[in-house]
């Protein structure tokens, strides 16, 4: 008998923080959603020795070792990474690959999934809960940060993303967003996040994004996202060199807005930018209007995702003569 588990975990857009702690008792808070077509896909099976093929080998080996030690699993594994979300471009690659490895190992060994505690074990979800929540389910997710004693940020809302709407993503492969020690240093050195800014963002989420999703009002949704992005972008500008990390992405995003896209912004630390359109046809028209691309960038149209990770457990029984 041969067993394998294949898991597909979606990339996520981070539309902004609701707040950034000014003291130890404060909470973060985030809004974001997973997307279709950009994902990490890997297959795991038992093996005589641990082998990792494909991208992210060192990180995957460490995650597998940490989880197996934690769960008391002595078996070795072969892990084949068919594709991976690119690192440090604002699409949540780190959290998703950690949760993919954890869920695949648990499924292979008949153990229940535990995304929240596995994320904490593997060092994910310390600030935003969007990646963990996107692994579990889709839709537009709002989390209110970590409460006292909480393992991960508390999800307070999850609303389906309209099936017809499309997201226009703009990539700049020549740069990466702030990450690692540079990210920690940025949060340490930036000034306290103004309470008034947090209040304005929370209002845009509660009175803008959330009702607009229920009403499928793209114009109101876009205005709320842009208002949040303006606040967040201006706050992080000293650390990332401007409202956008990539000047190429910024130029393309502003062209998309002139052509009719709404809700422009940058996911997390970037450099990936985003904008929204009412349909595939409208998104294609907008992209075509700027010539399909802007110098230094590539553009991709995707749908939002209203489901979490896909997990396939395969067992093959071999007949004997």
Q: Name the residue among 287, 293, 9 with its Cα closest to residue 171.
A: 293
Res 18: pLDDT: 96
Domain residues of the chain, as ranges?
2-159, 166-303
The yes-or-no verdict on residue 318 having pLDDT over 70 is no
- How deeply is 69 buried, as exposed, middle or buried, from its count of CB atoms within 10 A (0-12, 13-18, 19+)? exposed
Res 24: pLDDT: 72
**Mean pLDDT rounded to a whole number for the chain:** 93
Residue with tokens 């110098």: 295
Res 291: pLDDT: 85
In this prediction, residues 147-156 reach a mean pLDDT of 87
In this prediction, residues 230-253 reach a mean pLDDT of 94
SS3 for 178? coil
% residues pLDDT > 70 (the chain) = 97
Task: Band the pLDDT of 2: cuts 50, 70, 90.
Answer: low
Q: What architecture is the 2-159 domain classified under in CATH? A: 2-Layer Sandwich (3.30)
In this prediction, residues 73-87 reach a mean pLDDT of 95
In this prediction, residues 234-251 reach a mean pLDDT of 94
Task: Band the pLDDT of 102: cuts 50, 70, 90.
Answer: very high
Prediction pTM value: 0.93
The yes-or-no verdict on residue 320 having pLDDT over 50 is no
In this prediction, residues 182-191 reach a mean pLDDT of 86
The yes-or-no verdict on residue 321 having pLDDT over 80 is no
Res 1: pLDDT: 53
Quick check: 231 and 200 in contact, CB under 8 A? yes
In this prediction, residues 80-88 reach a mean pLDDT of 95
Distances (CA, A) of 178 to 172, 175, 254, 262: 14, 10, 22, 25
In this prediction, residues 107-119 reach a mean pLDDT of 95
Distances (CA, A) of 24 to 20, 31, 134: 11, 21, 26
Res 293: pLDDT: 61
The yes-or-no verdict on residue 319 having pLDDT over 90 is no
Q: Name the residue among 271, 193, 191 with its Cα closest to residue 14.
A: 271
Distances (CA, A) of 42 to 45, 83, 93, 165: 10, 7, 13, 28
Run of H or E residues at 32: strand 30-47
Q: Name the residue among 36, 31, 27 with its Cα closest to residue 17.
A: 31
Res 294: pLDDT: 72
**187-191, 240-244, 279-283: range with lowest mean pLDDT:** 187-191
Res 125: pLDDT: 78
Superfamily (CATH H level) for 166-303: GHMP kinase, C-terminal domain (3.30.70.890)
Task: Band the pLDDT of 280: cuts 50, 70, 90.
Answer: very high
């Amino acid at each position: 008998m041969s067993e394998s588990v294949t898991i597909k975990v979606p990339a996520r857009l981070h539309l902004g923080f609701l707040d950034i702690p000014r003291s130890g008792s404060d909470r973060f808070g985030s809004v974001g959603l997973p997307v279709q077509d950009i994902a990490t896909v890997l297959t795991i099976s038992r093996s005589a020795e641990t082998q990792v093929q494909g991208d992210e080998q060192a990180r995957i080996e460490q995650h597998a070792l940490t989880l197996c030690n934690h769960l008391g699993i002595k078996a070795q594994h072969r892990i084949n990474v068919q594709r991976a979300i690119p690192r440090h471009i604002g699409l949540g690659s780190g959290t998703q690959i950690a949760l993919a490895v954890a869920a695949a190992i648990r499924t292979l060994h008949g153990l229940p999934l535990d995304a929240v505690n596995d994320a904490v074990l593997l060092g994910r979800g310390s600030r935003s809960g969007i990646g963990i929540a996107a692994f579990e389910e889709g839709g537009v997710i709002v989390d209110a940060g970590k409460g006292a004693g909480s393992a991960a940020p508390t999800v307070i809302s999850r609303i389906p993303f309209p099936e017809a709407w499309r997201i226009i993503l703009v990539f700049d492969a020549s740069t990466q967003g702030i990450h690692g020690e540079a990210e920690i240093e940025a949060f340490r050195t930036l000034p306290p996040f103004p309470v008034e800014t947090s209040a304005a963002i929370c209002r845009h989420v509660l009175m803008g994004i959330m009702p607009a999703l229920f009403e499928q009002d793209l114009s109101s949704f876009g205005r709320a996202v842009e208002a949040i992005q303006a606040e967040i972008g201006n706050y992080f500008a000293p650390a990332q060199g401007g409202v956008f990390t990539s000047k190429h992405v910024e130029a393309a995003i502003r062209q998309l807005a002139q052509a009719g896209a709404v809700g422009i912004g940058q996911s997390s630390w970037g450099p990936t930018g985003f904008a929204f359109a009412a349909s595939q046809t409208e998104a294609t028209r907008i992209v075509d209007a700027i010539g399909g691309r802007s110098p230094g960038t590539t553009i991709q149209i995707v749908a939002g995702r209203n489901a979490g990770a896909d997990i396939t457990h395969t067992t093959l029984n071999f007949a004997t003569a």
